[in-house]
Chains A and B, each alone.
Chain A
Amino acid sequence: DIQMTQSPSSLSASVGDRVTITCRASQSISDYLNWYQHQPGKAPRLLIYAASSLQSGVPSRFSGSGSGTDFTLTISSLQPEDFATYYCQQSFSVPPTFGQGTKLEIK
């Protein structure tokens, strides 16, 4: 199975900050990398697919980049509703696997 490792595991930031979360795959996965946002009590939400494509309805302050083994999710200017846990997920091979999550908290 492909292992996905996110860093950091948690992050404190303020409204308006620029934030970057990193995801590393244990082998090359091309651009088969997706990002999800999960707020407590809500359904997880697809943000970015195929490493850099913004899902419909997702604000443009979210962006993704990378290919091969190293990927990033960037939030350009944090908003109050962005405080949540973020997960990367590889879709290169079965089973699909997730990173351990990055919890983004208010400073």
Chain B
Amino acid sequence: EVQVVESGGGLVQPGRSLRLSCAASGFTFDDYAMHWVRQAPGKGLEWVSGISWNSGYIDYADSVKGRFTISRDNAKNSLFLQMNSLRAEDTAFYYCVKDRYGGFDSGSNWFDPWGQGTLVTVSS
């Protein structure tokens, strides 16, 4: 079964850091791009960041650029999101998502499957 499972969420104070992890199984991890998508309380889905199969192409939403860093370890079938300088508005469920392709800069891709999400709460 193709599966992704997030971990690392929790309560953190504004300005502090947190690192999310995603463990992938059931597919050849290094063949696919991966993404983080979030959902703030009462809000819709927002793409946060994506990384190509070989980490050669990485992009971020403007709202997190310069504060968040996405990375992957293909040997360990794992995806990461390093979140620094956290703000209250970063409070959300964070979902790890598999792409259809190895890259995501040429369109016609989609997100499947999604993990169950990990909750990040930024509050003093």
Q: Which residues of A contact B (CB under 8 A)?
A: 32, 34, 36, 38, 42-46, 49-50, 55, 87, 89, 91-101
List, in ascending order, chain A residues with CB within 8 A of B50's CB. 94, 96
List, in ascending order, chain B residues with CB within 8 A of A46's CB. 110-113
Rounded to whole angstroms, the CA-CA distance of A50 and B107 in the bound complex is: 10
Nearest A residue (CB) for B96: A43
Q: Are A95 and B47 in contact (CB under 8 A)?
A: yes
- A-B contacts, 13 listed (Cβ < 8 Å): A32-B107, A36-B45, A38-B45, A42-B116, A45-B113, A49-B100, A87-B44, A91-B108, A95-B47, A95-B61, A96-B47, A96-B104, A100-B44
Q: Which residues of B contact A (CB under 8 A)?
A: 35, 44-47, 50, 59, 61, 95, 100, 104-105, 107-117
List, in ascending order, chain A residues with CB within 8 A of B61's CB. 95
Q: Are A44 and B108 in contact (CB under 8 A)?
A: no
Given contacts A42-B116, A43-B116, A94-B59, is CB(A87)–CB(B105) below 8 Å?
Answer: no
Q: Are A99 and B107 in contact (CB under 8 A)?
A: no
List, in ascending order, chain B residues with CB within 8 A of A100's CB. 44
List, in ascending order, chain A residues with CB within 8 A of B46's CB. 98
Nearest A residue (CB) for B59: A94
Q: Are A43 and B113 in contact (CB under 8 A)?
A: yes
A98 interface neighbour in B47, B104, B107, B114, Cβ under 8 Å: B47
Q: Are B95 and A44 in contact (CB under 8 A)?
A: yes
Specify which of A32, A43, A89, A99 lies most central, judged by the most chain B CB atoms within 10 Å of its CB.
A43
Q: Are B47 and A43 in contact (CB under 8 A)?
A: no
Q: Are B95 and A101 in contact (CB under 8 A)?
A: no
Contacts A38-B45, A93-B107, A94-B50 given; 7 further ones with Cβ under 8 A?
A: A43-B95, A44-B45, A44-B95, A46-B111, A94-B59, A95-B47, A98-B47
Rounded to whole angstroms, the CA-CA distance of A20 and B36 in the bound complex is: 29
